[in-house]
Structure 1
Amino acid sequence: MLPDSPIPHAASGPRRGWRATAVLTLLCLPLSVSTPVSPPPRLVLWAWERPEDLRFLEGRAVDVAFLLATLDLTDEDVHVLPRRQPLRVPPGTALKATVRLQVLPGSSLARFGPDRLESLAGSLAALVRRRPDVTALQLDFDARASEYDAYVDLLQRLRARLPPGMPLSITGLASWCVTGSWIARAPVDEVVPQLFRMGPDAPVWRARFSRGLPRPCAGSVGLALDEWQPVPPGVSTLYLFNPRPWTLDAFARAVAETRP
């Protein structure tokens, strides 16, 4: 502790007046209020159907959403194509299983009756139950307008079959993320709008989302390294797609882009 300073004698009148003026001046100065900075979003790397070595993520708080399987759907059959490429991640990495649904030409999910939707939900749940290391399931399906009702029905059936507490996520098109969208009926924990490969309307959607994403798409978003854009405000989880295999350098560049 510093020693006590001696207390000076009171100064004469003019000295006291100077002090009062100084105090009033300080009281009238505007206070600088620092604007709180939002924490950077949690990162999730998409690992698609190719060899991926993500062991450079050791010690980093990054999740991995890997393609577990692709399901080719026709009006008569479902063909399951499991992942065939190796995936290497550090021990303890949170793994989200992504399943791609593809309706082959001439077919439609809208023509799946209740029995077929129930069977498809069972197949999806079985894929996850065979992977005890998976912490969440994500469906990647570009549903057409005629398939919205069937997709919601499938998600409801799938939700009932998943292990208790397992989050259910879906990717989404930018056009789904508007006020009053059908996607609000989907019984999911997360919608991840993919703000890339959006075609000629991309500038319109990017300008709209630069002000933030409306519910139910708020919170998560997917960006691509080769079509980079600023992360929309309010995003807490950022999925990153790399058209090439991930490397430490590519990851470092992506991280730098997401930090203010």
Structure 2
Amino acid sequence: MRPKDSEAAPPRHGHRAALLLCTLLACTPAAEPPRVVLWAWERPEDLRFLAGQAVDVAFLLATLELTGTDVLVHPRRQPLHLPPGVSLKATVRLEMHPGASLADFSPERLRALAERLATLAHRPDVTALQLDFDARESEQDAYVTLLQETRRLLPPALPLSITGLASWCVAGSWLTRAPVDEVVPQLFRMGAEAPAFRARFARGLPLPCKGSVGLALDEWQPVPPGVSTLYLFSPRPWTPDAFARAVVGMKP
């Protein structure tokens, strides 16, 4: 369970956060801004300044290190302070141990891994499960099987989300076989291919990655058209002041 919330931040912080979000998303009376989700990674985070704001939080619940024979579970160890009523998505990071591959997992191991994921997501405060896994091409079929098993074990009403690489968002992608409610392509830390992918996404979200996108505060680009849910990553802990400085530097 998440730590007990202490006294919420003064209302002026919430008001300032609302103004900053509107600046970030270029709010206009004619345009409905996307739903904003802040990623809260493995570090101390105090997000109580979000009190009263229409902002969700996707927090790192655990990291699963997958070896050739075992699953090493590293639960979140850093404190996370949240305002009452915030909508929480649980993110689980999957990392392959050097030399291991998801493609080598037997159906039994994939089923057991799906059971572990479903158990982790069984929390009354969680509204969705998100998996973060950089599947190599050779692992994509196994990943689809894992997603199928996980979807089968999760409550029908609990959405299943995955992060993705921009290169996965192409016609005929293996993602079309994945039984997920959301794919969040991450348009940051893309290396030399970043300009080409950003130019492509600037024309709109390509199938099968419709609706959601992930951006980083230190690699600003305009929000692509057609985005209904915007995930934001910060390389430093989220605070009202850090958020304000980042927004000022991200204006197009």
Greater relative contact order (CA < 8 Å, ≥ 6 in sequence): 2
Partner in structure 2 of residue 64 of structure 1: 57
Which of these residues, 94, 110, 121, is aligned with residue 114 of structure 2?
Answer: 121
Partner in structure 2 of residue 154 of structure 1: 146
Contact 1:177 1:216 in 2 (8 A): yes
Cα offsets for 1:121-171 (capped at 9, x unmatched) = 000001111x21000000000000000000000000000111230000000
Q: Per-residue deviation at 1:180?
A: 1.2
TM-score by length of 1: 0.83
Residue 195 of structure 2 is aligned to residue 199 of structure 1: no
Which of these residues, 84, 91, 108, is aligned with residue 91 of structure 1?
Answer: 84
The more displaced of 210-219 and 138-147 is 210-219
Matches within 5 A, 1:100-139: 100-129=93-122, 131-139=123-131
Contact 1:40 1:258 in 2 (8 A): no
Residue 223 of structure 2 is aligned to residue 223 of structure 1: no
Paired AA for residue 153 in structure 2: R
Distance in 2 between residues matched to 1:144 and 1:66, nearest whole Å: 24
Distance in 1 between residues matched to 2:59 and 2:137, nearest whole Å: 27
Which of these residues, 156, 170, 189, is aligned with residue 181 of structure 2?
Answer: 189
Cα offsets for 1:184-214 (capped at 9, x unmatched) = 1110000000000000110010001100011
Residue 25 of structure 2 is aligned to residue 37 of structure 1: no
Distance in 1 between residues matched to 2:219 and 2:247, nearest whole Å: 15
Cα offsets for 1:92-112 (capped at 9, x unmatched) = 000000000001110000000
Contact 2:217 2:250 in 1 (8 A): no
Distance in 2 between residues matched to 1:253 and 1:37, nearest whole Å: 27
Contact 2:221 2:250 in 1 (8 A): no
Contact 2:218 2:246 in 1 (8 A): no
- Of the two, which has the highest radius of gyration? 1
Contact 1:231 1:258 in 2 (8 A): no
Which of these residues, 193, 197, 212, is aligned with residue 204 of structure 2?
Answer: 212
Residue 82 of structure 2 is aligned to residue 50 of structure 1: no
Structure 2 vs 1, CA of residues 105 and 253 (structure 1 numbering), >3 Å: closer, same or farther?
A: same
Percentage identity across paired residues of the two chains: 76
Paired AA for residue 179 in structure 1: A
Paired AA for residue 56 in structure 1: F
Q: Per-residue deviation at 1:249?
A: 2.4
Contact 2:37 2:57 in 1 (8 A): yes
Q: Flag structure 1 segments of 5+ consecutive residues without an equivalent.
A: 1-34
Q: Per-residue deviation at 1:259?
A: 9.2
Contact 2:187 2:198 in 1 (8 A): yes
Q: Per-residue deviation at 1:251?
A: 3.1
Structure 2 vs 1, CA of residues 145 and 103 (structure 1 numbering), >3 Å: closer, same or farther?
A: same
Paired AA for residue 229 in structure 2: T
Q: Per-residue deviation at 1:250?
A: 3.2
Q: Flag structure 2 segments of 5+ consecutive residues without an equivalent.
A: 1-27
- Computed over aligned residues only, the root mean square deviation of the Cα atoms, in angstroms, reads 1.8
Distance in 1 between residues matched to 2:127 and 2:249, nearest whole Å: 27
Q: In structure 1, the residue corresponding to 2:143 is in which secondary structure?
A: helix
Structure 2 vs 1, CA of residues 226 and 194 (structure 1 numbering), >3 Å: closer, same or farther?
A: same
Query: How many residues align structurally?
Result: 225
Structure 2 vs 1, CA of residues 248 and 83 (structure 1 numbering), >3 Å: closer, same or farther?
A: same
